[in-house]
Amino acid sequence: MRRDINKLSEEEYDLLIIGGGVNGLATAWDATLRGLKVALIEKGDFGGATSAASLKIIHGGLRYLQHVDFPRMKESIRERSNLLRILPHLIDPFPFMVPAYGHGMKGKEALAIAMKMNDFISRNRNKNLKDEEQHLPNGKIISKKACLELAPHLKQDGLKGAAVFYDGRMHNADRVNLEFALAADSKGADLANYVSAQKINMAAGRIHSVRVKDELSGEEFEIKAKVVAGLMGPWSDLLPRLLDEESVSEEVVKSAGIQIITPAVTKEGMGLGVMSDYVDPDAKIARGGRHYFTTPWRGMTIWGTTDKIYRGKPEEWKIEEADIEEFIIDINHAVHGINLERSQVVNAFGGLRPVSDENIDAGSQVSRKAEIMDHEEDLNIENLISAEGVKYTTCRLLAEKMTDLVYVKLNIPTPACKTETTPLFGGDFSTRAELRAHAEKIKPEGLAEKAFDYLVRSYGAKCTALLERIAQKPAEAQLLRDSDEIPMVCIHHAIENEQAKTIDDVLLRRTDAGTLMPPTEAMRSQVAELL
């Protein structure tokens, strides 16, 4: 994947996408796969803003039972299966446990009914998953003893057991983002990070080009496109400013959510869903507070996700010390006995998400539905569309709907979407066992077993190219400083073939060297030398 600024300025595209988060990249993949000529620009790095602030869960919509929202539940279940199928190396089935207390809506009886309903509604979830390792088992109820063995910190008073259900967990969410970019690039899309949109150029009610700036060189140039799509995450509300409308405020109203990483609270193979003191006023079936989830992560635990209204410029939002301390208090109320302290938080990360107008003051703050906007209706511009997504799970579906709308705008027949069944860049293999067996045959001498596992798991079918490169350049089998699994071939490959331009691009988004806490100075200096 090469960053070709000259080509961007010379071509005319069917579609220009502004925004390189997961929804923009997924749209680039869908549109390119259907035959459109696509360009995408991102003012920072691909997936470097809100898409990087993930709890790493692909939700099947169990929580929508509370809202009796069966259509959205079915949608989430279907999209979870689609992502498991097209990204088989990066997404796993993963169990989550919800403790049961008493005999009411929080008790085993109610949870048992929820498990049965979830299993029935999702009964076809494994139908097109050819690798049995990707299959999601039915939910179940476990005893109090089994529950405490998995999560010894839980409050025991009134504990009756727990429900266990399965969702998807992303092994590396940042590489999930990148897979969409690499796949789009492989089919002919032109993508460039560190290119920002400056001004939309209009004539007779239509966009003819967008003036952009190469943030690395400072050069400005025009990109010509028949349709422009804004997929700008928290910056979506600021799209009208590109029309030179100074009256549009630079501030937005969003829901700010953070995750924190702490010592482990469950066994490595089990996530946890617990109820906070917050009560969701939109729930049709009230179980009490909204759920926080934990994701076991490399011997630690990720907690998420908070919701707090933010008003201001998106680029000025940051995690405050008070946000972390408030989250710790809420966790300690929800999981009596854990007694988390501030000193145990090794990292915190987060981002801004959409909030619907009616929910700003109602307490139910995060918008549950992605929104697609045709700006012929509100801005009177024929060929400008935009969207703001709400979660990883439905990124493929949002991209499908956006691409359908692009074809409407182009006034040409809409080809069938292919992304439900077409594997992404590294996902083209039958089973994990077959992939590993093939990789074992070409495994070069001198490559540590953990490094080999890392390559197979992170790159899927494309790991063979990196293994063959190590065979030609044995020094690249050496590990990145302070890492026990990332071989240097990944660093070279990121810089040469994946548009990594900065130290953070390499360590946070092409590899997962910063998945638990900020990369060490030794890592940073080694990558800096190569850059």
Architecture in CATH of 91-167+253-359: 2-Layer Sandwich (3.30)
More confident residue, 267 or 444: 444
Distance separating alpha carbons of residues 195 and 4, to the nearest angstrom: 11
Structure tokens at 5: 């600024």
Q: What are phi and psi of 152, to 5 degrees?
A: -65, -15
For residue 344, pLDDT over 60 is answered with yes
User: What stretches of 176-320 adopt beta strand conformation (E)?
Assistant: 190-193, 195-203, 206-214, 220-230, 252-263, 271-279, 289-297, 300-304, 308-312
CB proximity list for 503: less than 8 A, separation 6 or greater: 519, 524, 527, 528, 531
- Residue 263's DSSP bridge partners are 300
The number of residues in the chain equals: 531
Q: What is the mean pLDDT of residues 71-100?
A: 95
Tell me how crowded residue 7 is: count the other CB atoms within 10 A of its CB.
12
For residue 282, pLDDT over 60 is answered with no
Distance separating alpha carbons of residues 291 and 186, to the nearest angstrom: 40
What is the SS3 assignment for 15? Answer: strand
Q: What is the mean pLDDT of residues 466-485?
A: 97
Burial label for 180, CB within 10 Å (0-12, 13-18, 19+), is: buried
Against a cut of 0.85, is the pTM above it? Answer: yes
Sequence ranges of the domains in the chain: 5-51+174-249+368-410, 91-167+253-359, 432-530
Maximum separation of any 2 CA atoms in the chain, in Å: 71
Domain 5-51+174-249+368-410 matches domain 91-167+253-359 at the CATH topology level: no
Bond preceding residue 305 cis, omega within 30 of 0: yes
pLDDT at 64: 84
The percentage of the chain sitting over the pLDDT mark of 70, rounded to a whole number, equals: 94
Q: What are phi and psi of 298, to 5 degrees?
A: 55, 50
pLDDT at 364: 41
pLDDT tens-digit series, residues 285-297: 544 456 789 988 8
Mean pLDDT of the chain: 91
Tell me how crowded residue 473 is: count the other CB atoms within 10 A of its CB.
13
Fold of 5-51+174-249+368-410: FAD/NAD(P)-binding domain (3.50.50)
Structure tokens at 293: 């989830």
Tell me how crowded residue 505 is: count the other CB atoms within 10 A of its CB.
24
Could you give the count of Cα atoms lying within 13 Å of 403 in the half-sphere of its Cβ? 28
For residue 443, pLDDT over 90 is answered with yes
Q: Is the Cα dihedral 452, 458, 461, 463 positive or negative?
A: negative
Pairing of strands 252-263, 308-312: antiparallel
Mean pLDDT check: name the lowest of 162-166, 369-373, 459-463: 369-373
pLDDT at 367: 60
pLDDT at 360: 53
Distance separating alpha carbons of residues 409 and 329, to the nearest angstrom: 50
Structure tokens at 507: 């360590």
- DSSP conformational letter for 450: H
For residue 314, pLDDT over 50 is answered with yes
More confident residue, 18 or 359: 18
User: Buried b vs exposed e over 394-428: b needs ≥16 C-beta within 10 Å?
Assistant: bbbbbbbbbbbbbbebeeeeeeebebbebbbbbbe
CB distance 365 to 353 below 8 Å: no
Banded pLDDT at 277 (limits 50, 70, 90): low
